[in-house]
Structure 1
Amino acid sequence: MTSWPVLVGIGGTLAIAAICAALIAMGLVRPNTIVAAGYPVRGVDVSSYQGEIDWDVLGGEGVDFAIIKATEGSGDQDERFAANWAGATRTAEQTGLLVGAYHFLSFDSPAETQAQNIFDTVPVTDGALPITIDLECYADYCRTPPSAERVASVLDPLLAALEEHYGQPPIIYATMRYYDAFLTGGYAANPIWIRSVITPPVLSDGRAWDIWQFTSRERLDGYVGKEEFIDVNVYRGSREELRALVGR
């Protein structure tokens, strides 16, 4: 039989965990901040959830790069992409901000139509970062992930089509869970952007990440939308090394 002291200890531990989770959700505690501070090249990723963005203001918030949601699946486009792309690239001309776009991958439509959606939305732009493919769960796939074969049947031809069209190997963004399930040990030509908002990421195959999304609960000036928080990322190397991705 479990003793009262043990039960009290378990209850206290659970209470502390719940409090910590609540503080993280409210953006009052960001566990990775100290470690991430060791990487000086910082960037944001944004979508329509950040609403209208003043890129001159946001670009002045210590931001070296910005990656903007463009498309999802075969038929969806982010409603703020055109305005964000125009604003960010205009700011880039003045400040050297590095700008890229990302596509949210669907497991339910062919690579060919997803590629065409991206081509129709994201212009080939000198100086832009490589296109990013966002590989994470959605809907029922968060409970039951797709098979590795299904993911590869969409991801691999999409990566090839994008590299041919834009002239650069795409970046792949993934959660730790999806990296382990679908990317580990492969995709050596593609820069890896990993999400890990509680602890610093350690990839299962020993590979070094390129970009790390270390928090989704930052508040910066320069945007007014239904989402009060913004994702913040760091790049592993120098700004010059990040810029080199443009010409890879």
Structure 2
Amino acid sequence: MKFLQAILRTLFYVVVGGVISIVGAAFFFMNWEPDQDDFPVRGIDVSHHQGAIEWTKVADDNVAFAYIKASEGGDFKDSAFARNWAAAGAAGLERGGYHFFSLCKPGKEQADNFLSVLPEAPDMLAPMVDLEFTGNCARRPPVEEVLREVSDFANAVEAVVGKQVLFYAPEDFYRTYLKGQGLNRRLWTRSIWHSPAYTQDWTIWQFHNRGSVEGISGDVDLNVLNSELTLEDLKI
């Protein structure tokens, strides 16, 4: 009987220890962030999915910049863009707009959609185009086609805005379509819980996709600016 009790007690401690370890690991990963001394300039990217945002609270929570979704594909316009753009500016945050690029629509058509929403604001951050497979259409065009359409998008936007478009590209998209192609655009990387490994030449690094910020109910993407740059560099 004592032997059985000892076994059960041991199993109990093992299970409890395992649960504590899992909870501890989850807490660590959900709260991990790059060292603020190394990457002091922090930002978020948002869309209508974040719902109503209290931008003053966001600005008070060590957030310096925000990229706000303006459009997607050939005709979708984010319903929260105008509201978020105005309120983020009023709260003192540096702002930039972004477009989610569809692999099923021509680049020039998408640029026209984006430009129809993006305001004329000389002090805004450089526009960003979101290039990724997640949430995209099922089509996977050849490299040459994607490069042509993305270039058409970037050239059309840059001609109007006068700032170089920033490319957001997670590793899978980057390796499939962008690596070694000489597009000569600044890169926004996505590398959750560790520094970017697929390229050392990056401008912004998204380090969390389920972060927490005061003023936003629910998850939000968290980003840092390359420490060798300033937000003024992103206005070019």
TM-score normalised per structure 1: 0.79
Describe the shift of the 1:134–1:147 C-alpha distance in structure 2 as closer, same or farther (beyond 3 A): same
Please tell me whether residue 211 in structure 1 is matched to residue 204 in structure 2: yes
- The 5 A counterparts of 1:163-242 are 163-187=158-182, 189-204=184-199, 207-224=200-217, 228-237=218-227, 241-242=230-231
Partner secondary structure for residue 33 of structure 1: coil
Once residues 97 and 24 of structure 2 are traced to their aligned partners in structure 1, the CA distance between those partners, rounded to angstroms, is 31
Describe the shift of the 1:21–1:69 C-alpha distance in structure 2 as closer, same or farther (beyond 3 A): farther
1:27-81: CA deviation from partner (whole Å, max 9, x where unpaired): 7624852457621110000111110111111111101110011100011011111
Partner secondary structure for residue 69 of structure 2: strand
Q: Which has the higher contact order (CA 8 A, sep 6+)?
A: 1
Q: Tell me what 1:13 maps to.
A: none
Give the conservation status (yes or no) of the 8 Å contact 1:32–1:197: no
- Give percent identity, aligned residues only: 31
Once residues 136 and 118 of structure 2 are traced to their aligned partners in structure 1, the CA distance between those partners, rounded to angstroms, is 28
Partner secondary structure for residue 102 of structure 2: coil
Amino acid at match of 2:100: F
Amino acid at match of 1:212: W
Partner secondary structure for residue 233 of structure 1: strand
Amino acid at match of 1:214: F
Partner secondary structure for residue 203 of structure 1: coil
Describe the shift of the 1:36–1:188 C-alpha distance in structure 2 as closer, same or farther (beyond 3 A): farther
Give the conservation status (yes or no) of the 8 Å contact 1:35–1:200: no
Unaligned runs of 5+ in 2: 1-17
Once residues 35 and 181 of structure 1 are traced to their aligned partners in structure 2, the CA distance between those partners, rounded to angstroms, is 30
Describe the shift of the 1:211–1:79 C-alpha distance in structure 2 as closer, same or farther (beyond 3 A): same
Deviation at 1:90, TM superposition (A): 1.8
Q: Tell me what 1:244 maps to.
A: 233
Amino acid at match of 2:72: E
Deviation at 1:145, TM superposition (A): 3.9
Deviation at 1:199, TM superposition (A): 2.5
1:221-247: CA deviation from partner (whole Å, max 9, x where unpaired): 1124xxx111100011266x221221x
Q: Tell me what 2:156 maps to.
A: 161
Unaligned runs of 5+ in 1: 1-15
The structure having more radius of gyration, on CA atoms, is 2
Amino acid at match of 1:211: I
Once residues 109 and 22 of structure 1 are traced to their aligned partners in structure 2, the CA distance between those partners, rounded to angstroms, is 44
Deviation at 1:23, TM superposition (A): 6.1
Deviation at 1:91, TM superposition (A): 1.9
Once residues 170 and 136 of structure 1 are traced to their aligned partners in structure 2, the CA distance between those partners, rounded to angstroms, is 16
Once residues 163 and 140 of structure 1 are traced to their aligned partners in structure 2, the CA distance between those partners, rounded to angstroms, is 23
- The 5 A counterparts of 1:54-203 are 54-92=54-92, 97-138=93-134, 145-187=140-182, 189-203=184-198
TM-score normalised per structure 2: 0.82
Amino acid at match of 1:129: L
Once residues 89 and 23 of structure 1 are traced to their aligned partners in structure 2, the CA distance between those partners, rounded to angstroms, is 37
**How big is the alpha-carbon RMSD for the aligned residues of Structure 1 and Structure 2?**
2.6
Once residues 216 and 46 of structure 2 are traced to their aligned partners in structure 1, the CA distance between those partners, rounded to angstroms, is 10
